[in-house]
Structure formats: structure tokens, C-alpha cells
Amino acid sequence: MLREKFRETVFNRGMSDIIKKSGTVIVGFSGGADSSVLVYLLREYASENGFRLVLAHVNHMIRGEEADRDEAFAEETARRLDIPIRVKRADVPSLAKEWGMGLEEAARRVRYDFFDELSAEFGGAPIATAHNADDHLETVLFRMMRGSGLKGLCGIDPVRDGKVIRPLISCSGEEIREFCTENNIPYRTDSTNADTSYTRNYIRHEIVPRLREQFEAPEKAVLRMTELLRCDNDFIEGEAAKLCPAGTTAFDRALFSTLHTALCARILRRMYLDFAGSDASLPDKVHTDAMLALALSEKTEGTVSLPTGVEFHVTRREVSFRHPVSRENAELRFPMSVKGSVFENELYKIVVSEKEHSFSTEEYENIYKLSIHKIMCSDKIIGSLYIKYRVHGDTYKVGGMTKKIKKMMIDEKMTAEEKNSLPLLCDGGGILWMPHFPLRDGVVSSAVGENNLHLYFFEKKTEKEIDI
């Protein structure tokens, strides 16, 4: 029965195609009953279908000599079955402190980092883990108690990212142990599995047995439920992907405000992961709620600071993510291409272009004051263009004199906010142009030609100016 479930899962979930493409499978092997059965069945399946296995064992150095014995068992099993094995030893307790996370979370991070390394080494080989139906049940219960959303309640994906496969996900722990007995498969038992101070162990030993008193095979019921949830979630995620393809840096706010909240939340998550990286921790619900509230409010502009050091930013026109800007960081530079670039912050916008523009669109008329237009000779630009913010000691050569930026701003009666937000266009020779002032000596173009570079500066209107 278990063998049939294994094969049915491999075939119906597309795992057979994933394995066929690679020709190699990395098997996470702890030495426990689940992973021992997984190796047994995959070895049998590999001999029939012509692919190879590589075992991957991690000694987390949490259980001292017991963990060392598990490592020795894993190596002996690999020798007995004539399967190559890779072993990693990692001081997880120390790493957990260094990373500021719990032992379980740190151990998982170490394991999957190791699996990913091996996968890359073997040409992107899939990774097989021994998660079963009981693990799936415990995961759903755990996430439910943490207030997870729909994606979290889908539990453990049978196939994750087309790379991690779980062939035993439909098999119960009891079925797996019975299979070990029937086929004389040796395995190790982790003593920490009985320690109910670990949340998952508490669920396993205290909560699940009580469920079994009232409901027969709750793991099967949860499997059925998550199949339905996964179908619904896949549909919503697909709709979000249509509206917000990978690489979207800003989303139209007017369109955003017309969408269902379920789509809005997923669009924000997609944009955030694109910006911060796919491995970044997702914002908590309180931060997601704050982002949604701001984006759907009547405010013309605003920001939500996230714990990851990223800012969610809203303007009248769009929603986006950005890194907070430190105005006093002299090394902070924003590259600008002479082929065409746009820089924008909370008060100003600068456009650099090889061509002249009219900027007569409604967007510019409604949001910005009349632009400043300067024409530079691109041959006079030294090195690369970039934008920075003012720092102490900045100077600027105009009218045959070298002037201090600080004094020029004071003379212009700029507010502190305007001073700190004013973008300075620079090249390899220093400051090239400061808005409201002339271009640096020697770069002004007086002729019409292909070597001209057009510079536009826009200043955002105040809310009062916008409402008029």
C-alpha cells in the first residue's frame, strides 16, 4: 500500500518528470524511519528508471554523541547500499544565537542551504525530503495557530519551486514504521522528538493524539482540505501574476484601489520579494495591513517602514518599495545614464535624456510645477553621471567662482526638508548642476546637435497647489 502511494505521488505530482530531466536526486537522509523508507523506495525506483541518488546528511551538533552515531549510521547505510553520501557538520546552537532565531529554524536553514549547494553541484538536481502526512498535519495546525493566511494553510507543498519533492507526503507515520518492520529497514530514533518543549513535538504528542480520539485519520482530512485550498490559492496567485508580472517596480495606484484585497496583498508580496530578494522575510500581518490601509487611503503620499529596512512608498500615482535614503551618506550614489534616466524622491524629479521632451501629459501637469530645462554638451561630461545628496564641504563652480553649496542653499532660503532632499547631479569632476542654479562652468551647450544632453527638473506641488 505504501509503495503504491509513493509511486502514485511521484507520477501524479510530476515528480517523475523532474527526476527524468536531471538524472540525479539529492536525498535528505537523517537516518530516521521516514528518510530510511524514502531512500529504500527511491533506490528501487532509480534502478527501474535509470537515475542516481546522492544522500545528504546534516549533523546539527545539537545532541552530542547521539548525533555522531546518527552520522555514522548514515555513512554506513550509504556504504551498504552503494550510494554516494555528503555530510555536513554545523554548530546549529551557535548559529541560532548568531542569527537570532530558534534552533528549529536555524537547523532548517542549515539543511536547505546544504541541499541547495549539492543541487547546484549536480547540475540543478531535485532535492527529495521525507515529509509525510503527519508532518503535513502538524504544519497546518502550527500555522493555523500563528494566524497564517491561505498560502500558509496549504501546508507542505508536494513540489516546491520545481526543485524540492516530497514523495511520502501522502503516507502516514504509522504506515512508514510498518513498512520498515515488514521490509527489515533499520533506522535511528532522534531522542529530541520526545521533547515537548519544541512546538512541533508538543503538537505531535499532545494535540494530534486528542484529535485522533475524535476524528479518524485527521491527516487524511487535512490533506483533502489543503488540496482544495491549494487550488484556490493557485488561482488567486495566477491572477496576481497577470496584473503584476515579475520585475514590476511600481504599480498603478488607481488600478490597485479597484482590486479585491486578496489580490492587493499578493501584489504587494510579489513586488516586495522582487525588490528585497526571494529569500527575504515577508512582512507581518500588521505591516501588510498598514501598507494596504495607506495605499487605499485618500493620502496623496506616504511611507510605511518595514522591519527588514525596506520602505513601502505611496504617491498619488503609484505604490512601490524603496530603500530609505540617508542624506548624510557621501558614498550614496544613484547612477544616471546619458541614454536616458529618471530619478525621483519625495519632493523632486530629474529626467536626463538625449532627446527634447514637452512633458505636457496630465501626470506632469497635475503633480509637478513647471519644469526647469537645461541643455548640456555631453562631450564636456567627465566620466559617469550620478545623483547624490549634499554633504558637509560640497562646492560648486559657477560664474568663474567656487561656491559652497551650504551658503547657496541659505541664500535661496530653502527649508531643511528642501535642503536634505535636493538632488545634486554630478560627474567625475564633481557637482555638475544644482537645481535652481546655473550649470557648472564649461558644460552649457549653445548649439543644436547630437551631442546635446537634455536635463529636466520637476518640483512636486504641495497638496494645496494640487487641489486648486
Q: What percent of the chain has a predicted confidence (pLDDT) above 90?
A: 52
Compare 283 and 165 and report the one with higher pLDDT.
165
Rounded-to-integer distance, Cα 352 and Cα 370, Å: 16
Across the range 162-189, mean pLDDT stands at 95
Residue 274, H or E segment = helix 261-276
Residue 267 pLDDT grade (very low, low, confident, very high; cuts 50, 70, 90): very high
Predicted local confidence at residue 330, as pLDDT: 47
Give 466's pLDDT tier (boundaries 50, 70, 90). very low
Q: Are 394 and 406 in contact (CB under 8 A)?
A: yes
pLDDT at 311: 85
**pLDDT value at residue 348:** 82
Residue 291 · residue 253 · CB < 8 Å: no
Question: Looking at per-residue confidence, does 412 or 233 come out higher?
Answer: 233
pLDDT digits (tens, 9 = 90+) for 129-154: 999 999 999 999 999 988 888 988 99
- At 381, the amino acid letter reads I
Q: Which of 186-190, 325-329, 379-383 has the highest average model confidence (pLDDT)?
A: 186-190
Distances (CA, A) of 167 to 217, 346, 375: 19, 51, 65
Report the pLDDT averaged over residues 57-83.
94
User: Given pLDDT bands bounded at 50, 70 and 90, which one contains residue 367?
Assistant: low
User: In angstroms, rounded to a whole number, what is the distance separating the alpha carbons of residues 153 and 157?
Assistant: 11
> What are the cell numbers at 77?
547505510
pLDDT (tens digit per residue) in 285-308:
888 999 999 999 998 888 888 877
Percentage of the chain modeled with pLDDT above 70: 92
C-alpha cell read off for 390: 549634499
Q: How many Å apart are CA 52 and CA 167, to the nearest integer?
A: 16
Q: Measure the CA–CA gap between 144 and 157, rounded to whole angstroms.
A: 16
- Give tens-digit pLDDT for 399-456: 888 888 888 888 888 776 678 788 899 988 889 998 888 898 888 876 666 678 888 8
Report whether 405 contacts 431 (CB < 8 A).
yes
Task: Write out the three cell numbers for 215.
Answer: 476524528
Which strand ranges, in their side-by-side order, compose the sheet holding 341-344?
A: 341-344, 348-353, 452-459, 372-377
Q: How confident is the model at residue 370 (pLDDT cuts 50, 70, 90)?
A: low
Cα separation, 461 vs 458, in Å, equals 9
Answer whether residue 7 shows pLDDT above 90: yes
pLDDT band of 362, cuts 50, 70, 90: low
Q: How confident is the model at residue 339 (pLDDT cuts 50, 70, 90)?
A: confident
What's residue 280's pLDDT?
A: 73
pLDDT, residue 285, reads 83
pLDDT band at 464 (very low <50, low <70, confident <90, very high): very low
Residue with cell string 523632486: 348
pLDDT of 341: 80
Residue 10 contacts residue 44 (beta carbons within 8 Å): no
In which band, very low, low, confident or very high, does the pLDDT at 168 lie, cut at 50, 70 and 90? Answer: very high
Confidence label for 467 from pLDDT (cuts 50, 70 and 90): very low
Q: Which residue has the cell 547631479?
A: 425
Q: Cβ of 128: how many Cβ atoms within 10 Å?
A: 28
Rounded distance between C-alpha atoms, residue 299 and residue 314, angstroms: 9
Q: What is the pLDDT of residue 86?
A: 96
